[in-house]
Amino acid sequence: MALGDINKDGLVDIFLAGNQTSNRLYLNQGNLQFKDITDQAGLNSSGFWSTGISMADINGDGLLDIYVCKSGPQGGKKRHNELYINNGDLTFTEKSKDFGLAEERLSQHAVFF
């Protein structure tokens, strides 16, 4: 699980890693109400094994990006860790190869500082 304010509204949003189900992103709407925006955000990962998530501003634009560590058979489709760059409109674009972060070895979690 990773917690962070993805849309800079002052509310903490929730991202959950999935392995036998898709990862999920929940947008905090206040008063303990959350909306599942996984599909509209471009983050559905059905069929792939995620192990850990980190939120950090990887590209320095002031918005939290999402880095997802993966596990599973080597060389499989989408086996590499994924970096989702925040587009600022509640959508994300996968850019791990562009940033040199498409690690294919077994990963549990990553930390950025």
User: Which residue's structure tokens are 């189900």?
Assistant: 21
Q: What's the pLDDT at 113?
A: 65
Per DSSP (E only), the strands in the chain are 2-4, 13-16, 24-28, 34-36, 49-56, 65-71, 82-86, 92-94
Q: What's the pLDDT at 105?
A: 76
Q: What's the pLDDT at 37?
A: 97
**In a structure prediction context, what are the per-residue pLDDT tens digits for the chain, which is 113 residues long?**
999 999 999 999 999 998 878 899 999 999 999 999 999 999 988 777 888 899 999 999 999 999 999 887 666 666 789 999 999 999 999 999 999 988 887 777 677 76
Q: What's the pLDDT at 47?
A: 74
Cβ atoms within 10 Å of 9's Cβ, excluding its own: 12
Residues 6+ apart with CB under 8 A from 44: 22, 23, 38
